[in-house]
């Protein structure tokens, strides 16, 4: 038994600001007045607003205490499979906070936005080079938005041919949002099961691909953490029937600088800058999901496009075949700056090395745990590995119990019960940013929990015990959430 990272700590109760406030307290001084006084409109001159009176220390302590309740990638390992919760280098934050970027208004004229436009222009070309594709749009706001953009592009392509189709093939190892993105564009998802190796079979694709099928949505590497080794043959089958191949690039962190997506038959690919390219992820913040396309889909990319003419950058709107605009203005620009900084900091060799280390870390965990946790596919994985609770279920210990117990060991749990093709799935993605020491500590925690599941299963049923909130009644929490803290 190793020493656990998780402790009870000094966890303080915290009142609402309205409960902390006392009449007469204040923690703010108005700046010196530099404009003439003007009477306030009576409509806004109210004295019944429920605003608490607080001192500076009231506010500082309140929000500092709240921050200690949170766990994030700056706190510790965040092994969420399929999410790529890698560390965000702080140099990226510094570049994004430069006044010329942070203070730029999207309505500024092109003559005053040359730096921002040049960054977007260059970022599109870097992403095209990294993926092997021909052109890129930065507009989509997140991964699912990128999926929708990809489907809209495929829809526009078939419409331009006068041969609109009605079905999309979606493997059971695709990301869960893929069927919804297809359905939003009017397509009927056609499910296809993966084979005994956890990847697509060419025979299964050939059996469902017909003249009314617009294409296929493939996640590669797939949600089992396995590379679709038949991808080129699958793409050839789809293309032979006039269909297109959409690639879900949410797992791109495994193959940066290694796989040429166009070469293996991808026609349109979305990326998650907030995953692969190390920008802030989760917590309701902005994401970014650019789409990369081959030449046949480039005319349909959304407007505006950034182009360079006579040494100047400008926005091009005159694109008659474009699917239109996907975002107000030009996408989540601050996330683009962070991704641009990350790419320049890493360089081509660094990006490739990041993918290699991500794959190495996942395979290391797989090999160290497969003797005590069930491994449905015992073969080399990519950036993530998938176990199940099969070996623990005999003691009535479930995947959820294992995940909750990890909290007591000081680790954020991995993704659970996904992908759906593995019953009781435990999906672990360490990313390349975790060192061997931390990974070894995680492995030991998982091994200790497996021992507890055998010797004292009741302990896992009651976990977590060291967190601020213990095991919740999940049904009640979903139906009647308490948001007061």
CATH of the domain at 185: 3.40.640.10
Contact 149, 118 (CB under 8 A): no
Of 345, 361, 378, the residue at which a domain comes to its end is: 345
Distance CA 394, CA 468 (A): 30
Residue 434 belongs to domain spanning: 349-471
Distance CA 6, CA 393 (A): 25
Distance CA 305, CA 301 (A): 8
pLDDT at 286: 78
Q: What is the pLDDT of residues 130-164, one digit of tens each?
A: 999 999 999 999 999 999 999 999 999 999 999 99
109 and 252, same domain (yes or no): yes
Average pLDDT over every residue of 209-220:
97
367 and 267, same domain (yes or no): no
pLDDT at 48: 74
Poorest-confidence range of 117-121, 274-278, 340-344? 274-278
Is a pLDDT exceeding 80 seen at residue 484?
Answer: no
Average pLDDT over every residue of 389-409:
96
Is a pLDDT exceeding 90 seen at residue 432?
Answer: yes
Confidence at 222, pLDDT banded by 50, 70, 90: very high
Contact 271, 336 (CB under 8 A): no
Residue 163 lies in a domain: yes
Is a pLDDT exceeding 90 seen at residue 40?
Answer: no
pLDDT at 47: 72
297 and 354, same domain (yes or no): no
Is a pLDDT exceeding 60 seen at residue 485?
Answer: no
Average pLDDT over every residue of 174-184:
92
335 and 363, same domain (yes or no): no
Tabulate helix, strand, coil % of the chain (nearest 5): 35, 10, 50
Residue 293 lies in a domain: yes
Is a pLDDT exceeding 80 seen at residue 31?
Answer: yes
Joined together, the tokens standing for residue 474 give 């999940």
Distance CA 127, CA 339 (A): 10
Joined together, the tokens standing for residue 218 give 């493939």
412 and 465, same domain (yes or no): yes
281 and 173, same domain (yes or no): yes
104 and 139, same domain (yes or no): yes
Residue 11 lies in a domain: no
Average pLDDT over every residue of 187-196:
96
How many domains does one find in the chain?
2
pLDDT at 482: 78
Residue 357 lies in a domain: yes
Residue 28 lies in a domain: no
Contact 375, 366 (CB under 8 A): yes
Helix (H, G, I), strand (E, B) or coil at 307: strand
Average pLDDT over every residue of 386-390:
98
Is a pLDDT exceeding 80 seen at residue 5?
Answer: no
Residue 25 lies in a domain: no
330 and 385, same domain (yes or no): no
pLDDT at 8: 72
Percent of the chain topping pLDDT 70:
98
Of 322, 345, 368, the residue at which a domain comes to its end is: 345
- CATH code assigned at 416: 3.90.1150.10
Residue 136 lies in a domain: yes
Q: What is the pLDDT of residues 317-342, one digit of tens each?
A: 999 999 999 998 888 999 999 999 99
Torsion of CA 438, 383, 178, 123, to 10 degrees: 90
Confidence at 29, pLDDT banded by 50, 70, 90: confident
336 and 354, same domain (yes or no): no
341 and 354, same domain (yes or no): no
368 and 335, same domain (yes or no): no
Is a pLDDT exceeding 60 seen at residue 1?
Answer: no
Percent of the chain topping pLDDT 90:
77
286 and 369, same domain (yes or no): no
Residue 258 lies in a domain: yes
Q: Residue 377 contacts by C-beta under 8 Å, 6 or more apart in sequence? A: 197, 198, 224, 226, 386
Of 289, 316, 345, the residue at which a domain comes to its end is: 345
């Amino acid at each position: 038994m190793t020493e656990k990272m998780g402790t009870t700590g000094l966890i303080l109760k915290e009142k609402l600001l309205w409960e902390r406030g006392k009449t007469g307290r204040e923690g703010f001084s108005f700046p010196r007045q530099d404009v003439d006084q003007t009477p306030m409109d009576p409509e806004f001159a109210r004295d019944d607003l429920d605003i608490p009176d607080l001192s500076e220390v009231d506010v500082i302590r309140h929000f500092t205490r709240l921050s200690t309740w949170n766990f994030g990638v700056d706190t510790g390992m965040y092994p969420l499979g399929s999410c790529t919760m890698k560390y965000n280098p702080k140099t990226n934050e510094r570049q994004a906070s430069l006044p010329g970027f942070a203070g730029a208004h999207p309505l500024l004229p092109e003559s005053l936005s040359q730096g921002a436009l040049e960054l977007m222009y260059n970022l599109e070309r870097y992403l095209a080079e990294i993926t092997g594709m021909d052109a890129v749009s930065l507009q989509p706001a997140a991964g699912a938005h990128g999926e929708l953009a990809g489907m809209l592009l495929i829809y526009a392509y078939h419409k331009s041919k006068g041969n609109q189709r009605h079905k999309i093939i979606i493997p059971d190892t695709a990301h869960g949002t893929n069927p919804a993105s297809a359905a939003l564009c009017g397509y009927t998802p056609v499910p296809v099961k993966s084979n005994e190796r956890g990847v697509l079979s060419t025979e299964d694709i050939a059996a469902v691909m017909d003249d009314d099928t617009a294409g296929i949505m493939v996640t590669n590497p797939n949600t089992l953490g396995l590379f679709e080794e038949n991808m080129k043959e699958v793409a050839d089958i789809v293309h032979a029937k006039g269909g297109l191949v959409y690639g879900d690039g949410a797992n791109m962190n495994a193959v940066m600088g290694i796989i040429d997506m166009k070469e293996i038959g991808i026609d349109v690919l979305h990326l998650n800058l907030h995953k692969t390219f190390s920008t802030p992820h989760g917590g309701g913040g902005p994401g970014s999901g650019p789409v990369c396309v081959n030449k046949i889909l480039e005319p349909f990319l959304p407007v505006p496009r950034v182009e360079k003419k006579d040494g100047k950058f400008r926005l091009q709107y005159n694109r008659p075949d474009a699917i239109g605009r996907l975002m107000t203005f030009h996408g989540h620009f601050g996330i683009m700056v962070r991704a641009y900084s990350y790419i320049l900091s890493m360089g081509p060799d660094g990006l490739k090395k990041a993918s290699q280390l991500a794959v190495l870390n996942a395979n290391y965990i797989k090999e160290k745990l497969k003797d005590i946790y069930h491994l449905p596919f015992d073969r080399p994985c990519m950036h993530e590995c998938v176990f199940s609770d099969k070996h623990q279920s005999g003691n009535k210990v479930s995947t959820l119990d294992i995940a909750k117990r990890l909290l007591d060991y000081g680790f954020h749990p991995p993704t659970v019960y996904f992908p759906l093709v593995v019953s009781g799935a435990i999906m672990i993605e360490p990313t390349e940013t975790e060192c061997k020491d931390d990974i070894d500590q995680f492995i030991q925690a998982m091994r200790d929990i497996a021992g507890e599941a055998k010797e004292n299963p009741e302990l896992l049923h009651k976990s977590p015990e060291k967190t601020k909130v213990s095991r919740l009644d999940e049904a009640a929490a979903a139906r009647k959430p308490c948001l007061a803290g």
